[in-house]
Amino acid sequence: MPNKKYKKLLVVCGTGIATSTIVSRKVKDILNQRGIYNFYIKQSSLAQVPSEVSHYDLLITVSNHKKAYDIPSVDGVCFLTGVRKEEAINKIVKIVNED
Amino acid sequence: MNFKNLLDDDIIHLGVKASCAEELLGFMSDSLEKHDYVKSSFKEAIINREQEFATGLPLESGGIAIPHTTTEHVNQAVVSVAILDKPVPFKMMGNHDETVYADVIFMLALKQAHTQLEMLQDLMKLIQDQDMMKQMKEATCTKDIIQLLEVN
């Protein structure tokens, strides 16, 4: 099997401390459980996003950011509430699996 | 659960009456400050941060909020809990256009997120457990809350 392209995910919350920590750990666990390892996941704060976003393939947001970026984004609040989580997971899996 | 040393009867509040989120956050912050868990700057910081980055979460079991702020306002890491008589409106985390009526509040006074990661993960697991949340709301004394958080 050819190696999949390595994807970089950025999880963003207000301070980059509490909620992004939980969400990034959760997304990592869920992807690993599905046998997906070709990704790197990092947490960040909203203020840091503009300087970091160009290095990433996907934004997972847990904060109210109005600004649109050039990369796809997924609402990560569902990883805290458990409500409609499957939709977000499917979107993340699709992007990580893209060539 | 990993709530050991992060809970204290004095900052668990049952049957709280508040007319709005700000009043509630002020009340909980004052209590934390009174017991030396946070600095005097905590209250303003947590109210401001709630406006900038709201923490209301719509769960299957109803609305909750997990207000928190940056670590420099905290003396000692602790989790304050409030169970409200009537829900108060919070803005939703990640989408400030939505309102969440919250009646269970976990105010997180964090020193370092990484060392409290397990607690935070446990907390997220707990809030997604509808039966646990129901028991939290039905608690009749602060010991009930501590037991639910520590044992489950």
> Distance of CA B54 to CAs A29, B20, B31, B96, B136, Å?
26, 14, 21, 7, 22
Structure-token pair, residue B33: 């400050």
Q: Compute how many other C-beta atoms are within 10 angstroms of the C-beta atom of residue B17.
A: 11
pLDDT one-digit tens code per residue, A27-55: 999 999 999 999 999 999 888 999 999 99
- Top-confidence range, A77-91, B28-42, B58-72: B28-42
Q: What is the mean pLDDT of residues A62-73?
A: 84
Cα B137–chain centre separation: 13
- Name the percent of chain A lying above pLDDT 70: 96
Contacts of A80 in chain B (CB under 8 A): 57, 93, 124, 127
pTM score over 0.95: no
Judge: A18–B68 Cβ closer than 8 Å, yes or no: yes
pLDDT one-digit tens code per residue, B8-19: 999 999 999 999
pLDDT one-digit tens code per residue, B37-95: 999 999 999 999 999 999 999 998 899 999 998 889 999 999 999 999 999 999 999 88
Looking at residue B31, what is its pLDDT?
Answer: 98
Backbone angles phi, psi at A70, to 5 degrees: -80, -5
pLDDT one-digit tens code per residue, B113-131: 666 777 888 888 899 999 9
The shortest C-alpha distance from A30 to chain B (Å) reads 14
Task: State the complex-level ipTM.
Answer: 0.78
> Distance of CA A49 to CAs A1, B1, B94, Å?
34, 33, 15
- Name the percent of chain B lying above pLDDT 70: 97
Cα angle B14, B12, B97; round to 5: 75
Looking at residue A58, what is its pLDDT?
Answer: 96
Residue B38 to residue B33: CA distance in whole angstroms: 5
Looking at residue B115, what is its pLDDT?
Answer: 64
Judge: A13–B53 Cβ closer than 8 Å, yes or no: yes
Most B CBs within 10 Å, among A60, A77, A83, A86, to test the B interface: A77
Judge: B54–A64 Cβ closer than 8 Å, yes or no: yes
**Strand B56-59 vs strand B62-65: parallel, antiparallel, or unpaired?**
antiparallel
